[in-house]
Amino acid sequence: MAHGESRVFGRFSRFCARYAWWVIGFWVVLVGALNLAIPQLERTVAEHSAPFIPGNIEAAQTLRHMSKEFGVPASSAIGSVLLVNESGIGAADEQVYRDLVAALRADTDDVAYVLDGYSSDTLRSIALSPDGKAINLVVAGTGDVGSTKAHQNTVNIRNTIDALAKPAGLQMYYTGPSPTLADLFSAMDFSLLIITAVSVLLITLVLLAVYRSMVTALIPLLTIGIGLGVARPVVSLLGGAGVLTVSNFTIALMTAMLLGAATDYAIFILAGYHEGRRNGLAVPDALGQAGQKVSGILIASMLTIAAAATAMAFTQLGMFRAAGPPIAIAIVIALAISMTLPYALLSLLGRQGFAEPRPINERRWRRIGTTMIRRSGALSAASLVLLLAAASVLLTFRVNFDENAMQLDRTESATGYEKAYAHWGVNEVAPEYLIVSADHDMRNTNDLAALDRVAARIAGMPQVAYVRAMTRPTGRQLEQTTVGYQAGIVAHRLGDARDRIGTATPDLQRLAAGTATLRDGAASADAQLPQLVSGIKSVTALAHQVLGGYQEADSALRTVTDGRVDVPAALADLNASVGLLDVALQAIPDTAQIADSGRVVSSALGAALTPQPGPDCLLNPVCMRARSSLADLDAVSDGAVTRTLRQAQLLAAVPQVTVDKVRAAQPGIKNALARLQAMVAMVPGGSPERANAQLAELVRGADRLDEGMSRLAAGLNQVKGGVDQVVGLTGQLTDGLTQASDYLAALAAHTSAGAGTGFYLPAQGFADKAFQEGQRLLFAPDGRTARMLVVWRINPYSDAALNATRELSPAATEAAAGTSLQGAHFATTGLASLSADMRDQVWRDFAVYGVVAILGVLLVLMVLLRSIAAPVFMVAVVVLSFGAASGISVLVWQHLIGVDVDWSVFPVSFMALIAVGADYSMLFAARIREESGDGMVRGIMRSFGSTGSVITTAGIVFALTMFALMSGRVINLLQIGFTVGVGLLIDITLVRTIMVPAAMSLIGDRIWWPSKPRRG
């Protein structure tokens, strides 16, 4: 059963058998020490789990760029808290929401940032479901999605939610991409114990069925138990130190592979031991022979599995890196234990008569070999057809990135998704982010119009439900920013203007009538004004004559009085005299009294009243004293006494008729003097010269008035024509405004929604409260970066969404062409983009490590078989077997069950199948070569007899350990277990049993090229 024998391995196996208790004690002590000193692998995974998403993929870099530009901690652990009340969100629910936001913002250890739209009146519609029964609060946890930190903060955030006092009817769910992965990993943790227990149970049942002895079955079981006891703490130590990448997949896949490999190794050792015992060898000799024959095969098997697993170290995805290298280390440890512990156990048990072989029926297997040889051509062709047919189903394969669909249990995140679909109709909690980066501040009308154009283009994609952007925060364009809305406002205002003009039309008509009247009056005045001017000139000429007489009288008075008296002074004296005359006339009742008084004055004072004293008076002292007394009185009265006495003398001589005439004329004289004084007072400036100058100016003014009135009449005539024209044009303007208003109203009706919608935001809109609050959510502080939330109409995890996300940036670039954002950069991030980038990375990683794994396995097979053709053939067959197993998996899961195959299934399955499948083919081919000394045909027949049951048992055990993964609660583990299990069944039933021996019999010794077959 081995390719050659090695005495070194034989001596080593005898050494282990001789010091059995030391060997057993060593491994038991090592297991105890390692598990006491090193934290359990589950704890290490919980504290050091690898990020689910590579940090170098474009969507992850875009997500970090978005966080940096918006001034929040970098995080890819995006989720949402849904608050749901089927009776409608009430005041008590809103208070819980406010308490939740405050608590999350205070928890900076677990929460990177919170996007709170509901607290804003203007942005509330973003967070509130259309039916008003649910609120969406976006929460970004610290760390990267799928990492230990993200898992921990998911637990802590849920604890915060649970700690809140909730009113009746309010349910809260923390869901979204990051919580979904946390729930998935929690389910995986829960599944590990179940998977391990089921695996051990199935292995035990198979071993009991094969060996019919519990004691014999304990040898492989103790081997795998010690293997797990050593491998787990070693991997935990290396994972905690950062040497290895670990995750939940590390535990699940490493456990399954170690259980299968260690069991197989123990089975191979038991087969070698039993072969020796059947040949009559003693227990030590049988163990030594088994070590000689089996050890090389086990090392080669370990190398094939380790090579395939180690190839995963060349990948970028954390899951692959966390699966491959730990599996390789675990297989090395399993080999070390398998090459020592089973020999020690068999040594102890064999001496007691246990673990003895059962009879083997090699004839049945040789008959199968004979059949394969006789019908090698048909069987080879039939096997090839079957494998190709199964593999052809891969043409219908749809990769599944729906981590939510991988959960069998009803988790909180899965329930949250259901609630989101129920209340929004779409998955509101898993939007895509379209990031727009420009070299300038985009918060202006032109750039906002360009952004709205981009949003409209993206919203028009069939896979997209709506887009939340600055210009359409609710997913629909704001009515106020549509051209139709603006046109409607203008139309309304034009209509108001038309109505006001219509109301003012009677006033305009009255204005026109008043203007006509004014024009006619001005024309009449212009016709009569020349007569007025002529009269003014006549009056002015008369005034000049009067002023000429006045000037002559004034000049004469000044000449007579030597300039002491002028006309005003003379008039004043005259007025005073008239006053005295009036007094005198009133005092004199009649002329006789006047005459008597005059005679008395003349007889008594006549000589004293003369201007010059006469000779008689000079000689009369009495007369002189009288004159002296009159002189004193005149001094006191300014001469009034003497003048009065002299007038009395004169009055005595006036006849009575004269006095009567004076009395009759006195009022007229008085009035005439009053008019003369008034006329003199009215002379401008008190000067006739100035009066003449002003009269001349009056004449000139009258001439100018005449000229101006003529021009006024002409101007009013023109005004009348203009007013008539305005009245006429007003009617035309009213008609025009009616047409413009009707046109703009129709424009508003057709451009407020739909394909014709335009965009315009007036300058005052930027100061609006709604705009200010919206920009804080959707614009970076410097305005150079904006984000849009693209909400999918389809499942955001679906392959269609992953494909559509590749169209978002090109569509945005196309929409921005010819706008102010033509040179802007568009990038996407979010669940679909991250998954799409993951998909691309998965295929790159698969291609890289697939090639490395194939080359590694080929190298091991070439060294072991000392051939090139045989290893190439075997690896090709194994790859075809993997394709067939994958096709069957697609058929069962995608087409029959209705769950697409997860993205992780085929890469992990390939690692397992390329290693284990090649391992079984290698074991069979090596035995064929060893048994082909007398020909290929006989070698095949003998190899069937000696290895048929052993390899089949080993294959069944390994397949069952893979099928045990299907006992977990995570569908991707179920699919991995199913695919690998089916692949191993195909390998042991079709490939190793039919195709390989049939093809080798056809090819003959050429299969060992370039080496020669050994004969004799």
pLDDT of amino acid 692: 67
Find the mean pLDDT for residues 744-749.
Answer: 58
pLDDT for residue 535 is more than 80: no
For residues 550 and 286, which has the higher predicted lDDT (pLDDT)?
286
Confidence class of residue 21 from pLDDT cuts 50, 70 and 90?
A: very high
| Residue scoring higher pLDDT (1000 or 855) | 855
Per-residue pLDDT band for 133 (boundaries 50, 70, 90) equals: very high
Tens-digit pLDDT profile for residues 804-818: 999 999 999 999 998
**CA 485-486-487 angle, 5° bins:** 90
pLDDT at 866: 82
Domains contained in the chain, CATH given: 71-180 (3.30.70.1440), 439-473+758-823 (no CATH), 564-684 (no CATH)
Give the Å distances, CA to CA, from 577 to 133, 568, 583, 689, 717: 115, 14, 10, 29, 62
Task: Output the pLDDT for position 4.
Answer: 44
User: How big is the CA angle at 843 (ends 842 and 849), to the nearest 5 degrees?
Assistant: 85
> According to the model, what pLDDT value does residue 449 have?
87
Q: What integer pLDDT is reported at residue 546 of this predicted model?
A: 67
Mark residue 620 as left, alpha or beta (left: phi above 0; alpha: psi -120 to 50; beta: remaining): beta
Torsion of CA 935, 939, 942, 943, to 10 degrees: 180
For the chain, give the percent of residues with pLDDT over 90: 28
pLDDT tens for 60-105 read: 888 888 888 888 888 888 899 999 999 999 999 999 999 999 999 9
* pLDDT above 80: residue 45: yes
Where do we find the tokens 């869901």? 175
Model confidence at 18: pLDDT above 70: yes
Q: Which carries the bigger pLDDT value, residue 490 or residue 968? A: 968
- Identify the residue whose tokens are 């946890």: 141
| Token representation of residue 642 | 């003497």
Q: Which helix (H) or strand (E) holds 221?
A: helix 214-240
Task: Give dist(CA 670, CA 750) in Å, integer.
Answer: 96
The pLDDT, as a whole number, for residue 298 is 87
Q: Encode pLDDT of 145-174 as tens digits.
A: 877 888 889 999 999 999 999 999 999 999
Question: Where is average pLDDT lowest: 594-598, 636-640, 703-707, 785-789?
Answer: 594-598
pLDDT of 604 reads: 62
Q: Region 710-729: what's the mean pLDDT? A: 65
DSSP class of residue 407? Answer: B
Higher pLDDT, 247 or 652: 247
Residue 786's pLDDT band, with cuts at 50, 70 and 90, is very high
Cβ pair 71, 781 in contact under 8 A:
yes
Judged by average pLDDT, the poorest of 323-327, 338-342, 735-739 is 735-739
Tell me the pLDDT of the chain averaged across its residues: 81
Q: Find which of 55-69, 474-488, 993-1007 is predicted with most confidence, using mean pLDDT.
A: 55-69
Identity of the highest mean pLDDT range in 154-163, 294-303, 724-733: 154-163
Res 637: pLDDT: 66
Q: Is the CB of residue 485 less than 8 Å from the CB of residue 753?
A: no
Res. 483: pLDDT tops 50: yes
pLDDT reported for residue 695: 62
Burial of 834 (0-12, 13-18, 19+ CB in 10 A): buried
In terms of phi and psi (left: phi > 0; alpha: psi -120 to 50; beta: otherwise), the region of 490 is: alpha
> What is the pLDDT, as a whole number, of residue 928?
73
Q: What is the pLDDT of residue 676?
A: 63
Q: Between these two residues, 1010 and 135, which has the higher pLDDT value?
A: 135
User: In this model, does residue 631 exceed pLDDT 90?
Assistant: no
Torsions phi, psi for 92 (to 5 deg): -65, -40
Q: Is the pLDDT of residue 431 over 50?
A: yes
Predicted confidence (pLDDT) per residue in 345-365, tens digit: 999 998 888 888 877 666 666
pLDDT band at residue 490 under the 50/70/90 scheme: low
Alpha-carbon distances of 991 from 379, 975, 984, rounded to whole Å: 11, 22, 9
Residue with tokens 């208003």: 741
671-696 as b/e: b if 16+ CB within 10 A: eebeebbeebeebeeeebeebbebbe
* 54 token code pair: 């590579």
Distance CA 271, CA 263 (A): 12
Q: What is the pLDDT of residue 433?
A: 92
Q: Is the pLDDT of residue 613 over 50?
A: yes
Predicted pLDDT of residue 163: 93
Gap between the Cα atoms of 312 and 240, Å rounded? 20
What pLDDT score does 407 carry? 85
Percent of the chain with pLDDT over 70: 71
Residue 755 confidence (pLDDT): 41
Q: Residue 599: pLDDT band by 50, 70, 90 thresholds?
A: low
What confidence tens digit (pLDDT) does each residue in 203-253 have? 999 889 888 889 999 999 999 999 999 999 999 999 989 888 888 888 888
Looking at residue 3, its pLDDT comes to 42
349 neighbors 28 (Cβ within 8 angstroms):
no
DSSP alpha helix (H) spans, 610-639 = 615-619, 621-637
Q: Which two tokens stand for residue 882?
A: 């993997």
- Each residue's pLDDT tens digit, 903-949: 989 998 998 888 887 777 777 777 777 766 666 667 767 766 666 67
Task: Please give the residue that has the higher pLDDT: either 183 or 527.
Answer: 183
Residues 993, 376 contacting (CB under 8 angstroms): no
Q: Which residues contact 359 (CB under 8 A, 6 or more apart)?
A: none
What is the length of the chain? 1016
